[in-house]
Structure 1
């Protein structure tokens, strides 16, 4: 038996694999097809932090962290034969599925990328779920990082997963409606529905982890050696808003806030993300409350203007003069949206928030100021542009 981590070369997948391997003696099997590296290169950008190749990463995990229970298999999860062989050989007791094309802007470029995103993400998840069923492995705990983006931006507090629907005096609990706003986010809405169906039809225990916007560059396991670092994208397509703003500050650009900027977005640190996924991967089956559980992986909501002002304040500690500028909002959105998300179930996994936004920014600026030239040489990637392919 083993624990399988998909998307293990990625921003979240790699440090999650290190955390899980450090807390278990079980074999931890990593798989990836290195597509994220190709996608970022395709849009003309790079990771600000150096990303070692997988052999170097595994060697550093052995020598620096003492981890001898990691192994890697390269392959494409959209290929059913590969998935079937992966499951048959390694017989995972838990699958942590973190593999996906994760960028909403990339999925919105054109029809080709929208189609690619939906095929890649949905086919991978379906192959894994059906693979478990047809291999007779329906006791395997299936954990997937979906996204809080499946909820959209409703005007009421967002529950952890379900919703109560009332019609003609009758009430029932139903799945939260898919209100996603991009072709990428819809893949996670479909994944959530497919996981629910796989639980209903096959009995597979499911943990649907709806991950907020993740920030940070380090976890406990990535700090000792540069070969252990995870990637950090800062371009328009793959850089999340906090990461992109931070990189702009390092490059000498003002942090741009559209409109009032009082609309709040859900955030979670990389450290807290990794801790939550590891807790689920290593959870005793007897401790699970239910065989289909939704977790809102978020520690707090932060407004765009608060984020910008905090980036400016922390930037001063690194001798950066960061201006915050407001511009007319080109988007049709509520600039005062509160974004309330329930997270009691998720906080029960991690106990308490390990890293605040300010502490995460300290890590980010420490990493980025050491690589200022890399950012400045790709500063044209802060905005959408012509693709290299």
Structure 2
């Protein structure tokens, strides 16, 4: 058996590849074009945790974990010829597809980035799905990390995949409507629809894993050696909110919350995300449902203010003095939205939650304290340039009037 892991140089892809390889003697083929490294560099940022080159990573995997079943192929999945070569040579029985331009803010910078994100993400998925059909590999289990962002923020509990629609007294189960809020999230909405179509037309077994906001600095495998570390982005464009807040805490920067911050978002720890993907990849083909299955890869919904307050609380254990500041919300959103999202299918897959949010935060801060200098050197990347300028003006205004007893205000756009 051969398993593909695409996006295998990335934050989720790399630890997923290690876990799969650690649990099987089968060949695990890693595929990437190192795009994530270039995208982060292009916005002036870097991973807080140094990321080894792929050859050093593979050498460390063998030295530390005895993994001799890992191999790497550099390929651009948006290139159909490259995908055809991969499938012809390796004939995978399972594909864990984590490759994508994953940043909503990056996709919103301008039309060029929006077009690139849509072309890159959609073309890669279509090439793989059509490649399986054209190379007579329709028994291959196709597992993709899409996103819970395809659901938007409805005022009712989000189902795990479909929805019930009623019209003129008739009811039927239909795919949940795409309610994406960015050009990136819309790529995953389209991917979800294309995977459903590929299952209907080609009978490919599909697992659509709708990944929540993922946080955490390491897994059991990556923690064993610095050369095995996965990347950790903390900038405005590629760092998720929990990671940016932790980096702000380590840099002595106030954690900035929009408005009340009571709106809840779906989260999952990196350890829990990797576990589910590895289990799906290694399901025995004889036991795997030949179906299209949606998993909500989330362990709980957490409010933005709870995230900040939890990080501030745990920061005390590391001797960090952290402030939580609220700013006027520039977004049109319900600051008290109590998101509910069903996750029974995914919880069963991983036998329940493995990591609490507080444990995950502790893990992140423990890692970031070690790389505090790298974080501080790029603290201007916590916000995009225009927002960073406003932040600087706000801080200067506070400093100039620090002797005043009057309350200060700020109206920066920060998360």
TM over 0.5: yes
Q: Deviations over 1:47-70 (max 9, x none)?
A: 000100000000000000111100
Give yes or no for the alignment of 1:379 onto 2:379: yes
Residue 307 of structure 2: SS of its match in structure 1?
helix
Residue 320 of structure 1: SS of its match in structure 2?
coil
CA distance in 2, matches of 1:194, 1:228: 34
Partner of 1:226: 226
Q: Deviations over 1:226-269 (max 9, x none)?
A: 00000000000000000001101111111111111110000000
Partner of 1:125: 125
Residue 222 of structure 2: SS of its match in structure 1?
coil
Partner of 1:199: 199
Q: Deviations over 1:335-367 (max 9, x none)?
A: 111110000000011002111111111111111
Partner of 2:390: none
CA distance in 2, matches of 1:62, 1:158: 42
CA distance in 1, matches of 2:313, 2:290: 44
Contact 2:204 2:290 in 1 (8 A): no
Give yes or no for the alignment of 1:18 onto 2:37: no
CA distance in 1, matches of 2:366, 2:250: 10
Two-structure CA RMSD over aligned residues (Å): 0.8
Residue 172 of structure 1: SS of its match in structure 2?
strand
CA distance in 2, matches of 1:271, 1:311: 19
Partner of 2:322: 322
Offset at residue 287 of structure 1 (A): 3.2
Offset at residue 308 of structure 1 (A): 0.5
Say which is worse superposed, 75-84 or 280-289, in terms of deviation.
280-289
Partner of 1:313: 313
Partner of 1:359: 359
Offset at residue 290 of structure 1 (A): 5.1
Give yes or no for the alignment of 1:112 onto 2:131: no
Number of aligned residue pairs: 386
Offset at residue 327 of structure 1 (A): 1.5
TM-score (norm 2): 0.92
Q: Deviations over 1:282-326 (max 9, x none)?
A: 112343345100000000000011110000000010000111111
CA distance in 1, matches of 2:208, 2:295: 6
Contact 2:258 2:326 in 1 (8 A): yes
Partner of 1:74: 74
Partner of 2:147: 147
Partner of 1:40: 40
Offset at residue 385 of structure 1 (A): 2.3
CA distance in 2, matches of 1:150, 1:123: 18
Give yes or no for the alignment of 1:162 onto 2:165: no
Give yes or no for the alignment of 1:137 onto 2:137: yes
Contact 2:215 2:269 in 1 (8 A): yes
Residue 244 of structure 2: SS of its match in structure 1?
helix
Unaligned runs of 5+ in 1: none
CA distance in 1, matches of 2:8, 2:273: 14
CA distance in 1, matches of 2:194, 2:202: 11
Partner of 2:345: 345
Residue 58 of structure 2: SS of its match in structure 1?
helix
TM-score (norm 1): 0.98
CA distance in 2, matches of 1:9, 1:48: 15
Q: After the TM superposition, which segments of 4 or more aligned residues of structure 1 sit over 4 Å from their partners?
A: none
CA distance in 2, matches of 1:73, 1:243: 30
Aligned pairs (5 A) from 1:276-315 = 276-289=276-289, 291-315=291-315
